[in-house]
Amino acid sequence: MPEFVDVTIQRYNPETDDKPHYQTYQVPYREDWVVLDAILHIKDNLDATLSYRWSCRMGICGSCGMNVDGYPKLTCSTHLREYRQGLTIEPLSNFPVIRDLVVDIEDFMAKLKSVKPWIIRELEQPLGAGEYRQSNNQIDNFRQFSQCINCMLCYAACPVYGMENEFLGPAAIALARRYNLDSRDEGSEERVKVLAASEGIWECSFVGECSAACPKGVDPAKAIQQTKFDTVNGFVMGAMLMPFGKRT
């Protein structure tokens, strides 16, 4: 006799619903299934109207982030066996819900772009001059922050972003940090205008949940605190101790 597990899913249809409601499905329990497998089973066998995002199924693309029993998780990396008594799946917190488990990511994408997450050079070398070389130590300085997969779990875990949607947010700041620490990059002064703005690093009150939620071991809270220190340090050194240093 097959075993089943109750999977309760938040449903929302913008064409018919004023607010979301919950629907429970009985899904066959398999020891080796992840939560995403249960959602795929519902879509394929029980309710074809269910909407959600997914792609790679191996914790790389960052598409399948959802709240599982209130905690933001990658559903492709979260085993069903951890929720043997049943589970509730909701769209990621702090984002507008488009339909069922699909959230609007426009705000996040705009914030990512605003920190210019690419290598900025004051003067590009010609191709013939060879590659920009880095030592292993120089790569180690930013390696951790380059592991971000833009899954937005950190935004869903952050109550500051929940209260103030203008906040630039953990992933965008961590990504800015990744490029600011890159020895090939010369764009930190361009990024500081966004990072040190009122919606930037100073909004963060260090709840620390962004780092706890990250499925890739990135520490956005560390990136934010380091950026705070560097920004103050840059201001003190540049504007107060050496006010004429850069006016030549």
Q: Does 238 bind other proteins (CB under 8 A)?
A: no
Element (H, E) at 9: strand 4-11
Distance of CA 37 to the CA centre of its chain: 22
# binding residues, other proteins (CB under 8 A): 34
Residue number with CB closer to other proteins (75 or 180): 180
Nearest-angstrom CA–CA distance, 169 and 29: 37
- Measuring CA to CA, which residue among 181, 182, 219, 174 is closest to residue 200? 174
Interacting span for other proteins (CB under 8 A) from 30-38, 170-178, 196-204, 223-231: 223-231
Length of the chain: 248
Q: Which of 5, 7, 9, 12 is close enough to bind other proteins by CB under 8 A?
A: 12
Q: Does 14 bind other proteins (CB under 8 A)?
A: yes
Residue 146 is given by DSSP the state G
Residue number with CB closer to other proteins (24 or 233): 233
Q: Are 203 and 168 in contact (CB under 8 A)?
A: yes
Residue number with CB closer to other proteins (119 or 139): 139
Q: Does 196 bind other proteins (CB under 8 A)?
A: no
Q: Does 22 bind other proteins (CB under 8 A)?
A: no
Query: Which residues in 122-161 contact other proteins (CB under 8 A)?
Result: 135, 137-138, 141, 159
Residue number with CB closer to other proteins (38 or 160): 160
Distance of CA 132 to the CA centre of its chain: 29
Nearest-angstrom CA–CA distance, 170 and 220: 5
Query: Which residues in 52-71 contact other proteins (CB under 8 A)?
Result: 70-71
Element (H, E) at 59: none
Q: Does 237 bind other proteins (CB under 8 A)?
A: no
Could you tell me the CA-to-CA distances from 214 to 106, 154, 196 in Å, in that order? Answer: 20, 6, 23
Nearest-angstrom CA–CA distance, 29 and 50: 20
Query: Which residues in 92-111 contact other proteins (CB under 8 A)?
Result: 93-98, 104
Site for other proteins, rule CB under 8 A = 12, 14-15, 17, 19-20, 70-71, 93-98, 104, 135, 137-138, 141, 159, 162-163, 183, 205, 207-209, 212, 222, 225-226, 228-230
